[in-house]
Structure 1
């Protein structure tokens, strides 16, 4: 999930940690217990370039290449160096202790399934923090050359941050390539390298859809919009009829949602080639289309841009200030726990489309299990990462205990999962809606190896323009200039600059 936030006490958590554990689709009755959400890099506080480099542990390109020793596959095992089954069997019968860093609550239950099957391997589960603290500690340990775990939870968007420093183990030699068809196609693209490397195993996802208030739509004669033009028209109609109600809220503090919408629109804001080249296109025609659309609606005052995941935002959802929430597959279960007075009034639908003849969606949240290259127990660690996210009992438990939204095709077609009819959504098969949406997520979206900086610069340019109702298209140019300068300063060759 993006960084994960344990719900249950959401009001005290400034940013939900939704790392791939995006989790969750509405369950028929959400037990009164904590569950994880996967919102990604949402809500992280701004950081300066200097603090990013020193405290967060980012390294310049030169340092990254030095860390790599000039050899991209040194010690990681190439696709040709397959580990034999006899070696795997031996490793799993050898007394071993693995350290696993994860923020997922109650994951010990899933870990126990692995240990029951392989009792010689003991797994020490450590919560090193949520979001930024988790990644800061991991970077610090890697730079120090000691203290890093064998296995770590890493959100999709943070994988490039660790592959550029050659910190993750290529899992191909340990059988990971055979798992490709186990997972939704786009997730495999998120964990794979340009040369076929497998850097992590998908765990949960956050394909984006739309939750809407059926009662408000009915009251004002609004049809569920299937295109963004229809959505804009509905926004104007609704706010004119009731100035206290907005069709939706696009939070000026939410870079994760913006990236999900860029993803849906077909934008390719970041594209790396090797370790030294990157194309940055956050101000291209697709991005400008998105900025003009949303900036225009916010300027008109028919869409709000309130900060999300605040007390005021929770109250607004509960009171009907927003008629829709453009969210991810973890959103339904989150909403049912945080806006209980609206039970029975919400429904789910795909996002409106730019081109209805070719439905697309983006993703917001979800995480993976990666093996740290410095581990002395590569075979056992790789087998643990794979078991955790492919064993049927284990993956099923993630959907019922942590309320993750699945990454495996098996669960996304499981009648017991997609056939649920939660009362909060009027008996609608919400999981099925998001399972169908998951099939439409673009497979080629990439993340930069300096996500923290890109997010900080977005918040201070595009996010600021939404908050202040200024020119969002112009803000894109500012964002482009800032991240381009940053990338060059770190030693990258920026294509097209």
Structure 2
């Protein structure tokens, strides 16, 4: 398990960097070494109101389960937006020193940016350190700090697989590609036979997809980063391999480069323009709604591999419940974050009613979940396949403390190069330079090895 940014290391950066939230003078919790069961029991019997920021629809059911277990605690649910609007409002409230929630939903890649500015409460002293065995290794590794801090509790994940159209594959005699070489050969065969159809689409502004491709290939651009000492390596041989691969496919017009999650993209999924979607475990449910007219035609397979015989995947997406360091109710907030993500009834609701792909081993080993045969996928047990894939995701991939900036610069460099059929490998160098300059401006000491 590779640790992440620590509060201790982040302090120096927070004092000197424009990235910091200028939190001087605000109330923050100094976690004790240990919180006893008696302290927890007392806190959970004390009338308390918690504020919970989340974008998950229907989360009221999980909150109701918590309030049934702890009737003295009231939870006020706030949807402050999703993505950048959510994080912008959260940072503004934290900077102001008031109005921030007790608990907030955070995506995995955003944890370092809040940990390094001392905005997260270490949940370890509140019993979270005992939960590691309940989660798949890669999900738990994403919430752990350099000093062993537990910055959040995993809520859902996105292990990567490949969704594919059986009708298109069968019509063109294409076998499910086991390797990326097979994938490229299939892309050529298909597009040569029907120029209106592409094996897949590469969205030029989808940095999260490219990060997942780097992860699977063994690249770890920010691995080994620790507070103000920031490792940046976006031009490693593994990263070059990924950029060259997708750049070559685009230059040969063997993949499309449409923007994703747009009306034309949805239409393309329904019309059969794309024969596959290289996507995470949350995609099957999404696709069954977005491309309802294609029901029964899709199946799911593991990612193609860089080397024959391997079984290595990665992750795209997923989120957590994190407690803000500004909370006035640390025990109740910490227990709430743990409860909704570990209580069997709560996690079952998330998986089967909100269709969030679970990080908990209990659900991933539960036949009632893994054995579901999905009609949209021809009766395939899709959950079972992604449960197997979850065990093939490495647990050493790290994020930068400003991943939103990393993604924006990806779009301007590598994403644009792939879309415009220019040199994607050269674009990696531009991406690297932009991130180094930004990191230096933010007060980090940048190193490449």
Q: Which category of TM-score, normalised to the shorter sequence, fits these structures?
A: over 0.9
The residue that corresponds to 2:3 in the other structure is none
Structure 1 residue matching 2:446: 3-state secondary structure: strand
Distance 1:61 1:185 in 2: 34
8 Å Cα contact 1:91/1:379 also seen in 2: yes
Distance 1:473 1:101 in 2: 40
CA shift for structure 1 position 433: 1.1
**Residue 263 of structure 2 is aligned to residue 311 of structure 1:** yes
The residue that corresponds to 2:8 in the other structure is none
Distance 1:61 1:237 in 2: 55
Distance 1:211-1:66 versus aligned 2 partners, 3 A rule: closer
Task: Pick the aligned partner of 1:217 from 169, 194, 200.
Answer: 169
Distance 1:325-1:192 versus aligned 2 partners, 3 A rule: same
**Residue 371 of structure 2 is aligned to residue 419 of structure 1:** yes
Query: What is the 5 A alignment of 1:377-392?
Result: 377-392=329-344
Query: What is the 5 A alignment of 1:44-443?
Result: 61-62=16-17, 75-77=29-31, 81-271=33-223, 273-443=225-395
Structure 1 residue matching 2:209: 3-state secondary structure: helix
The residue that corresponds to 1:14 in the other structure is none
Structure 1 residue matching 2:76: 3-state secondary structure: strand
CA shift for structure 1 position 106: 1.4
CA shift for structure 1 position 68: 7.8
8 Å Cα contact 2:23/2:97 also seen in 1: no
Where does structure 1 differ by over 6 angstroms across 4 or more consecutive aligned residues? none
8 Å Cα contact 1:64/1:164 also seen in 2: no
Distance 1:262-1:242 versus aligned 2 partners, 3 A rule: same
Q: What is the RMSD computed on CA atoms of the aligned residues?
A: 1.6
Distance 1:331 1:238 in 2: 23
Distance 1:210-1:146 versus aligned 2 partners, 3 A rule: same
Distance 1:299 1:490 in 2: 36
Structure 1 residue matching 2:321: 3-state secondary structure: strand
Distance 1:243 1:63 in 2: 49
CA shift for structure 1 position 175: 0.3
Structure 2 residue matching 1:365: 3-state secondary structure: strand
Distance 1:61 1:295 in 2: 39
CA shift for structure 1 position 250: 1.0
CA offset digits 1:207-260 (Å, max 9, x no partner): 010000011111111100010011111111111111111111111121111111
The residue that corresponds to 2:4 in the other structure is none
Give the gaps of 5 or more residues in structure 1: 1-57
Distance 1:64 1:240 in 2: 49
Distance 1:193 1:116 in 2: 32
CA shift for structure 1 position 141: 0.9
Structure-2-length-normalised TM-score: 0.94
8 Å Cα contact 1:99/1:126 also seen in 2: yes
CA shift for structure 1 position 273: 3.6
Distance 1:366 1:271 in 2: 19
8 Å Cα contact 1:76/1:170 also seen in 2: no
Distance 2:15 2:259 in 1: 32
8 Å Cα contact 2:18/2:442 also seen in 1: no
CA offset digits 1:409-462 (Å, max 9, x no partner): 010111011101111111111111111111111101000001111111111011
Distance 2:191 2:226 in 1: 49
Distance 1:158 1:60 in 2: 20
CA shift for structure 1 position 381: 0.3
CA offset digits 1:192-214 (Å, max 9, x no partner): 01111100000000001000001
Residues paired across the two proteins, number: 434
